[in-house]
Chains A and B, each alone.
Chain A
Amino acid sequence: MSMVKLRVNGATHELNVDPSTPLLYVLRNDLDLRGPRFGCGLGQCSVCTVIMGGAAIRSCITPVSAVRGEVTTLEGLSKNGKLHPLQEAWIEEQAAQCGYCQNGQIMTAKALLDRNPHPSDSEIREAMDGALCRCMTFYRVQAAIRRAARGTKVTGEGK
């Protein structure tokens, strides 16, 4: 065990944990966050995705000791009580069945739109391909991403 300093969703935390602990368990069990969830522990499914340094990373295979800079989780997307345009698009499109994987869908989409605000359909498919869903919500998830991307054009939000 050793002291680890983490900056998550704008707040700084100091925790006494084994530095090899995957970030996922620290976020869930020490910081009580519910967005990132366990799916495979192998970096294969994206259910645990968080954003670090602008990139969508798999928190289940990232030791806390490897965390650099700010970590943003699903909970950190909304600002001042207002949902992120992606989250609003998700509600508009009703883009979930069970919803368990949707953290990975939304966070992967966020990283995509942050670097490419107006992706083509094939760019969406490619960027999202590692975000698995066993309810098979892909069609609506893609529609929600397109909707959010259209929104950013008009309102300039979602940066």
Chain B
Amino acid sequence: MSNPMELPPELESDFGGFNQTSRRSFLAGSGAIAITLSLGTLPGAQAFAQAPLAAAGPYPDPDFLKLDTWIVIHPDNTATFYVGKTDGGQGTGTAFRQMMSDELDIAYDKTRLIMGRTDVTPDQGGSGGSTSVERDGRPMRRVAAEARRVLLELGSTHLAAPAELLAVANGTISLKSNPDRKVTYAELIGGKRFNIALTGQNVNLTTGKAAVKPVTDLRVVGQSHKRYDIPPKVDGSMRWAVDMKLPRMVHARNVRPPLAGATLQAIDEASVRDVPGFIRVVRRGNYVAVICEREEQAIRAARQLKAQWLRPEVAPFPASSELFDYMRRATPTSTSEPRVEGDPDAAFKGAAHIIEAEYEVPFQGHSSIGPAHALADPSDGQMTIYTNDMKAYSHRTGVAKFLGMPREKVRVVYMDGPQVYGRTAADDAGFEAAFLANELGRPVRMQWMRDEEAGWDTKGPAHVFKLRGGLDDRGKLVALEYDACSADYNHLWYNEPETVLIAQLMGIRPAKPAKGSVETPTTVYAIPNQRTTTRIVGLPLIWETPLRTGNLRDPNGPQVTFAYESFIDELAVAAKADAIQFRLDMLEQAKEDNVFRKSRSLAVVRAAANSYGWDTRPSPKPRVAEVHDKVVSGRGVAYTYRGNTIVAVIAEVEVNRETGRVWAKRLVCAHDCGLVINPETLHHTVECGMLHGLSRALWEEVQFDTEKVTSINWASYPSLRHSDTPETIDIMLVNGDPNPDRPDLAPYGAGECSHKPLIAAIANAIYDATGVRLRRAPFRSERVLTALKLGSGAA
């Protein structure tokens, strides 16, 4: 390459068909003014850079208060949008293009999108918390509306006609009275800067002078545009982060402590010197990596390296079979103030019927289908990291701090990768690649192996819950106590230079461990008397542990909802009430809030019941004819919300009473996330979210002995499979807003909500089918069989 700091030319084309260094010059107001670009036959056009090279690095932050940072109009009357986001596979990139195309009044297929490149896209934080469309889509819409306003002003001057006499469509401004008198966006500004300042105290508040369109005027939003990233993903042409290669690049593999908390005593480097292509063993404290010229050589060297590790004096954790007893006994690291509504003690005293139940959820992993990876390039005193990390911006800041480099010398290039539902090991791998690249002075590709991904990625925390409820003599819930305990002490946040795995293994520690979090249920049920208590516990080993907790898709939601919505079901059973009617009665009594959760919850629960064909009766299902059948069936409902999005799921399961196998034969979901940007993409996200929840309900559990994680591959950490797939999945997109056509109807997040109630819905369906209550997830065959034999379900 002529300039080591340029991205490889093929990648430049992947990233929008023109040279990104000239993009930086363009933003900085120096270098080439005009960016020539041919989009060719979008999508997937392979257009090449025609802009002159400009100086590479440093990489100042793109200024979100400049319109030019967000939108470029090209001479061929197409547009490129730049956003500070990433797309983990839910089609948010397609949604951003739809929202921005709509406000700009340009055809969707005349646009393209660049995401998550810290040197050329404004910092919107990357992805997380189902906020992409709900929060980050807002400034995107506003800046696109502002670009349209400016273009209309220019068009007005050009056509010598006042704006109100002009029409705008497909990137062309024309006289309403004489459409032949027209001018295109390209003719007005193609390849040139807008030079328009925006306002806003932070990137989320970025705005111009223009107002966004009322929802009723949106035309691209609401259409099921096919995702632009799927064709290159099915023909093998997409360049993923895992595909990045650079000249002089070498391959690294980590060597992890074989026992949690072990201390490295010695390394015998001679044990790997005979490996062809061997370059170096790098050791800092307990962090060890090997580097070789070729990938298979690095794998061999990592396996072959002889190292002496000292077993820790104290067992790092209890075995997973003892975990919940340990958590119940452990002294909490923090305890919340009890939250009390009404007078629960008096209400329990007056209750006609009191029931209690405990629920348990183990550690569950991200266990990405593609283990963590990154490529770091240290050329020319800068650092570029190619990664699928969903938080590209904090990755940049964190790596810069970790290496002691100025932020301006570090950039992160987000590329597609395996699923990222939160704080994955992608954070860790990027830091490791950058550290090793810095050490070696050559581009280093880091790739975790399967056992590392399963064993050492961050985990969703294990939970133990205790619930107690009091019913009056009419079966109405009058008192509820909820107590939750989460093994979430020292929860990892994103890209922290003091807590990424390499830092921990090097012996670096932050001032104090993170407190962790434990949540309370999200419902709007009217329950007059309640007490809520929560606490967090830690395991003995909190540093350098494979049982690191970090955000996993709605971090505590599936666990909390399992306990809460299972218990609501148990209360309905105790009240001899229908599970849906019991919930509707409590929703009817609820207070409305500013996002109409009550109305929308009622609409969602009713829509699910109608779509399912729910017949009103108590659980369990009366078994007459099938009392001796091998396979019995039942249905279960669970309802919740995540942020402003409401969901109800009904599962129909078949339980094999001889094998214990549970099959969710049918899933029905009613989902209200407000304004829908792309119905088909939303359907798919809701569907896959449910199945991810089903996987956590039926299979997922991180197991360990007192020294190490033993769930280290797909045999020991089983996950949902094709054979588990429901026969039918029905999804209803509900709009339960009291004024569903209001012009300011907002879109709410959809990336996590449908995933949240699945464990509960399955547990409730198993009860309906068998009369046996499962209070410990996941519901693998052996656990179900044991529970069926015991008859009580306390397994």
Chain A residues proximal to chain B, CB less than 8 Å:
1, 18, 20-22, 25, 28-29, 32-35, 37-42, 44-45, 47, 73-75, 77-78, 83, 87, 90-91, 94-103, 106, 121, 124-126, 128-142
Contact = CB atoms under 8 A, between A and B. Distances in A.
Given A18-B296, A140-B684, A35 B691 contact: no
A140 B684 CA distance: 8
Given A98-B417, A140-B684, 7 more contacts: A29-B245, A96-B89, A98-B88, A99-B89, A99-B230, A125-B722, A135-B369
A96 B234 contact: yes
A91 B230 contact: yes
A74 B714 CA distance: 23
B428 interface: no
28 contacts: A18-B296, A21-B296, A25-B294, A28-B295, A34-B236, A34-B237, A39-B369, A41-B299, A42-B450, A44-B450, A44-B714, A44-B715, A75-B237, A83-B235, A91-B226, A94-B684, A97-B685, A99-B89, A99-B416, A100-B418, A103-B236, A125-B722, A129-B721, A134-B368, A134-B419, A135-B369, A136-B692, A136-B694
Contact of A133 (B90, B369, B684, B729): B369
User: A20, A34, A83, A129 — which one has the most chain B CB atoms within 10 A of its CB?
Assistant: A34
Interface string B219-242: 000000011011101111111101
Contact of B419 (A74, A129, A135): A135
Nearest to B232: A99
B4 to A, nearest CB: 20
Interface of B: 88-90, 226-227, 229-231, 233-240, 242-243, 245, 276, 294-296, 299, 367-371, 416-420, 447, 449-450, 680-681, 684-685, 687-688, 691-692, 694-695, 713-715, 719-727, 729
Contact of B370 (A38, A78, A87, A128): A38
A103 B230 CA distance: 12
Nearest to A74: B236
A40 B239 contact: no
A45 B369 contact: yes
Contacts of B714: 40, 42, 44-45, 132
A134 to B, nearest CB: 4
A110 B694 CA distance: 27
A90 B296 CA distance: 32
A78 B294 contact: no
Q: Which of A20, A35, A102, A132 has the most CB of B within 10 A?
A: A132
Nearest to A134: B369
Contacts of A22: 296
Contacts of B419: 97-98, 100, 134-135
Contacts, number: 172
A125 B727 CA distance: 11
B719 A94 contact: no
B369 A47 contact: yes
A141 to B, nearest CB: 8
B699 to A, nearest CB: 11
A102 B296 contact: no
Nearest to A136: B691
B442 to A, nearest CB: 16
A20 B303 CA distance: 15
B449 A41 contact: yes
Nearest to A131: B722
B685 A34 contact: no
Contact of A142 (B90, B242, B417, B722): B722
Q: Interface of chain B, helix or strand or loop or mixed?
A: loop
A30 to B, nearest CB: 9
A129 B369 contact: no
Nearest to B726: A139
Nearest to A101: B369
B443 to A, nearest CB: 14
B720 A94 contact: no
A39 B694 CA distance: 22
A83 B232 CA distance: 11
Q: What are the 6 A-B residue pairs with the smallest beta carbon separation, nearest first?
A: A98-B89, A136-B691, A97-B89, A99-B233, A35-B236, A100-B418
Contact of A134 (B236, B367, B681, B727): B367
A137 B714 CA distance: 17
Nearest to B667: A139
Contact of B235 (A18, A75, A133): A75
A135 B368 CA distance: 9
B722 A41 contact: no
Residue among B235, B420, B714, B719 with the most chain A CB within 10 A? B235
B689 to A, nearest CB: 8
A34 B367 contact: no
B688 A137 contact: yes
B276 to A, nearest CB: 7
B369 A100 contact: yes
Contacts of A95: 230
Nearest to A76: B236
A101 B89 CA distance: 12
A91 B236 contact: no
A35 to B, nearest CB: 4
B276 A38 contact: no
Of residues B89, B226, B447, B726, which shows the largest number of chain A Cβ atoms within 10 Å of its Cβ? B89
- Centre residue among B299, B694, B714, B719 by max chain A CB count within 10 A: B714
A5 B400 CA distance: 45
Contacts of B299: 41
A95 to B, nearest CB: 8
A75 B89 contact: no
A97 B723 CA distance: 19
Contacts of B727: 121
Contacts of A21: 294, 296
Most A CB contacts (10 A, CB to CB) among B368, B450, B722, B723 go to: B722
B94 to A, nearest CB: 10
A94 B691 contact: no
Contacts of A91: 226, 230-231, 234
Contacts of A90: 230, 234
A99 B388 CA distance: 13
Contact of A106 (B229, B234, B420, B450): B234
A97 B684 CA distance: 8
B220 to A, nearest CB: 17
B370 A47 contact: yes
Contacts of B89: 96-99, 135
A1 B299 CA distance: 16
Given A94-B684, A129-B723, A100 B234 contact: no
Given A37-B370, A96-B233, A29 B684 contact: no
B677 to A, nearest CB: 15
A87 B235 CA distance: 7
From A75, A94, A102, A142, residue with most partner B Cβ within 10 Å: A94
